[in-house]
Structure 1
Amino acid sequence: MTNDYLEEISRLVHGEGDPCDLGADASHIEMIVRDLEAQPPWRPYCIVADWTWVDLIGVDKDQFSKAVREHGAQPVGLYSDNVIEDQLGRFNPGECVRSTPLVEFRENCMFITRNTIYLMQGPGKRLRMRPFSFVSAQF
């Protein structure tokens, strides 16, 4: 792994990035959770704070983007170093989590992947990095 990749991972885990006006306050997240729990199971939810919206870019952007889109997703990921609650208990409160690519985004705070609905609580950041750096980050 080169220093460029390590630098990108370091920026991610140290909360660097531009302020991002996505996310919702805790009361709105609670309302969404009640709605999700009242419906038949769709995807489990995971509430996260201190999140970073990651635009996946790079030298192979076109090839990577095409491959992701062919699988019904977008070249975007989500990282958080503060899990608030995970419906299935996969992640403990306070742990880090990294998503798979975005499939759908709703209500300014619902980052939906193939397997999980991440509920983005509070303010966050936006960062651009190469896909290899994002998927190589181990927590």
Structure 2
Amino acid sequence: MRDFEPEPNPDLEIQKESIRIRWREKSVLIDGSGMSLSDAQHIFDLSIEMYGKPATIVKNWFLVHVDPPPAEASPKYDDFKPFVICSLDVLRDAKNTLSSTVRTSQMQLLFDKSIFVTRNTVYLLVGPGRRMNYRKAPEAFTSFFALLGFQI
């Protein structure tokens, strides 16, 4: 499991802070959201037992409304909501992805504005989060997707 600090990369940190600033400008605070790091670490250790899925702990997170699947989408999408979590600060990751950033798949469940569940992972959201709509600010994601290595 990844629970160490990656090697400092000043250029990457500058890119990430630029993205954070743009996202904060396009988002609103979610009152009462997030949990403490100590609570997240406790749940992290029990995530397989509690949820049957590995966990990832993130901070400085954004709940992003994305387009729902088209009407003709497969019925397997019926249980998913049109939200993802984006974060530039992965603190701990049971899957050993070694990445400091994350964009989740679509949400299945959200508990107490601090536990975001997808098909394969439980995301433990530390500290307050922010909400934004992708359609209202697609330019705010261009740099983020480039950072993840995606072409858009």
Q: Distance in 2 between matches of 1:127 and 1:98?
A: 14
Question: Quick one: structure 1 residues 40 and 79, their matched pair in 2 at CA, closer, same or farther if it must change by over 3 Å?
Answer: closer
Alignment match, 2:34: 23
| Partner AA of 1:100 in structure 2 | S
Question: How much identity, in percent, do the aligned residues show?
Answer: 25
CA distance in 2, matches of 1:114, 1:40: 14
**How far apart in 1 are the matches of 2:92 and 2:41?**
11
Is the 8 Å Cα contact of residues 57 and 91 (structure 2) preserved in structure 1? yes
CA distance in 1, matches of 2:132, 2:43: 26
Between the aligned partners of 2:21 and 2:106, the Cα distance in structure 1 is 18
**Distance of 2:73 and 2:88 partners within structure 1:** 28
- 1:42-96 Cα shifts (integer Å, max 9, x gaps): 1111100010001125xxx6x647848851200011000000010121133xx11
What amino acid does structure 2 have at the position aligned with 1:128? Answer: N
Q: Tell me if structure 2 keeps the 8 A contact 1:100–1:113.
A: yes
The one-letter code sitting in structure 2 at the alignment partner of 1:23 is G
**What is the CA distance between 1:41 and its match in structure 2?**
7.4
Distance in 2, Cα, partners of 1:96 & 1:47: 11
- State the superposition RMSD in angstroms: 3.0
Quote how far apart the aligned CAs of 1:129 are.
Answer: 1.2
**Which contiguous aligned blocks of 4+ residues in structure 1 show a shift greater than 6 angstroms?**
10-13
Write the distance in 2 (CA, Å) between the matches of 1:55 and 1:11. 17
Aligned position for 2:81: 74
| Structure 2 counterpart SS, 1:137 | helix
TM-score (norm: length of structure 1): 0.71
- Residue equivalent to 1:102: 107
Q: 2:97 aligns with which of 82, 90, 95?
A: 90
Unmatched 5+ stretches in structure 1: 1-9
Matches within 5 A, 1:48-67: 48-57=58-67, 64=70, 67=73
Q: Which runs of 5+ in 2 are unaligned?
A: 1-17
The TM-score normalised by the length of structure 2 is: 0.65
Q: Return the structure number with greater strand share.
A: 1
Paired letter, 2:92: E
